[in-house]
Amino acid sequence: MFSLRHRLTVVLGWKSVERQFHALSMSRATSVTASSALPNGGIEDRLLVRQLEPNLIRPGVLASGLFWERHRKGGYQTEQRVSTKELIVNGLKELRTEFALFQQEWKEKLESDPLVVFRPGEIDVVFGFESQTDLDQWVVTTDRDHGQGFSEAALERSPSGYGLFHGTLESRVPKDGRIKRAGYANIKSLRVRKSFKREAFYDWSQYNTLVLKVRGDGRSYLINLTAEGYYDILWNDIYHYVLYTRGGPHWQVAKIPFSKFFLASKGRVQDQQGPVPLNRITNVGFSVGSRGGHEGSFRLEFDFIGVEFDPSHQEEFAYEMYRQPKYIVAT
């Protein structure tokens, strides 16, 4: 009976918790005297009241982890309250930018020719790092930003005029008894969009290889291709692959087929894998961590990030999936 009531409480929400809590208090009030006279009387009642207490149950938190995702950023979002007047002023300021994007959209649509968009063996640059405007299209995050560590990172222009992702990783955790591991830094491109705040996607379905010209420090970095889906269960779908860098002053050109990327969600590699949906790429990112004793400074310099169609690469998906009989699964 308790388990059923507890489940209904989580599904029905906060108001049902309060109704059941008050109903329980009224119904049990008449039997407090009799139950307290028993050796274990009142213990069961107190446990039941404690489980139904609103401050302890928090149906929204339980529901966000069990049934649906409340926020796209998994609880790391920052809410800023802005007055209506400021919203109107900011909206008027952005009109010029939005109309410029709208003009550029139609110009590309009228001038583009699908037959000459890409050529085999030719690299199409998606992200450049030549100006500060290009660097503003990226967001840098570390564990320090969320109060979960002490790492630092930044994306700046290097003395030679390229994009430099650098910082310091620390695996030391805050002494709050809540964080168990720390030490990471990440950069992520802003969500691609059309004019007037319309969401869009990178359509790379005509390409099969990701090309990067970088200059690293010998560390291994994780490449993240976000393919955010429509439903909340697909918000955190990210395809990963490792970028191995070599130290030294020389540049390296890394060509990674999209067939090598594997699917993960919230840092967990998924059992059910599949090819990257190249027509629904929303963000590109790079992560570095301090696990395995790799603390200290890091440095990754970017020249460009592009895509290429390699006719010699015929592989569609690198990982073989096995279909098990239904009676074997979960046994």
Q: Express each pLDDT in 26-42 by its tens digit.
A: 444 444 344 444 444 45
Give yes or no for a contact between 122 and 310, defined as CB atoms under 8 angstroms apart.
Answer: no
Give yes or no for a contact between 246 and 218, defined as CB atoms under 8 angstroms apart.
Answer: yes
Helix intervals (H) in the chain: 2-12, 14-29, 32-36, 43-52, 54-57, 59-66, 84-111, 132-135
Mean pLDDT on 291-300: 89
Res. 268 pLDDT band, cuts 50 70 90: confident
Q: Express each pLDDT in 59-105 by its tens digit.
A: 333 334 455 666 666 666 666 777 888 888 888 888 888 888 888 88
At a CB cut-off of 8 Å and minimum separation 6, what does 22 contact?
none
On the CB side of 311, CA atoms within 13 Å amount to 5
In a domain, 267, yes or no: yes
In a domain, 108, yes or no: no
Selection from 141, 135, 167, 165 nearest residue 77 by Cα: 141
Tokens representing residue 257 in the block: 């087929």
In a domain, 289, yes or no: yes
What distance in Å separates the CA atoms of residue 190 and residue 196, rounded to the nearest whole number?
16
In a domain, 208, yes or no: yes
If one compares 8 and 252, the residue with the highest pLDDT of the two is: 252
What distance in Å separates the CA atoms of residue 68 and residue 70, rounded to the nearest whole number?
6
In a domain, 80, yes or no: no
Determine the pLDDT at residue 2: 40
Q: Express each pLDDT in 98-134 by its tens digit.
A: 888 888 888 877 776 655 556 788 899 999 999 999 9
First and final C-alpha spacing in the chain = 28
- Helix (H/G/I), strand (E/B), else coil: 126: strand
Res. 309 pLDDT band, cuts 50 70 90: very high
If one compares 169 and 100, the residue with the highest pLDDT of the two is: 169
What distance in Å separates the CA atoms of residue 278 and residue 19, rounded to the nearest whole number?
49
What CATH number does residue 266 fall under? 2.60.120.430
In a domain, 165, yes or no: yes
Nearest-5° Cα angle at 108, 106 to 109: 60
Side chain identity, residue 328: I
Residue 152: is its pLDDT beyond 50? yes
What distance in Å separates the CA atoms of residue 176 and residue 149, rounded to the nearest whole number?
11
Domain that holds residue 278: 113-309
Give yes or no for a contact between 77 and 171, defined as CB atoms under 8 angstroms apart.
Answer: no
Give yes or no for a contact between 238 and 282, defined as CB atoms under 8 angstroms apart.
Answer: no
Determine the pLDDT at residue 282: 93
Measuring CA to CA, how many Å separate 330 from each of 33, 180, 324? Answer: 49, 30, 11
Quote the number of domains for the chain. Answer: 1
In a domain, 20, yes or no: no
In a domain, 79, yes or no: no
This prediction's pTM: 0.71
Contacts 24+ apart (CB under 8 A), 266-272: 266/74, 266/236, 272/321
At a CB cut-off of 8 Å and minimum separation 6, what does 311 contact?
120, 121
Q: How many CB atoms lie within 10 A of CB 316?
A: 10
Question: What are the beta bridge partners of residue 226?
Answer: 238, 283
Determine the pLDDT at residue 76: 65
If one compares 67 and 183, the residue with the highest pLDDT of the two is: 183
Res. 194 pLDDT band, cuts 50 70 90: confident
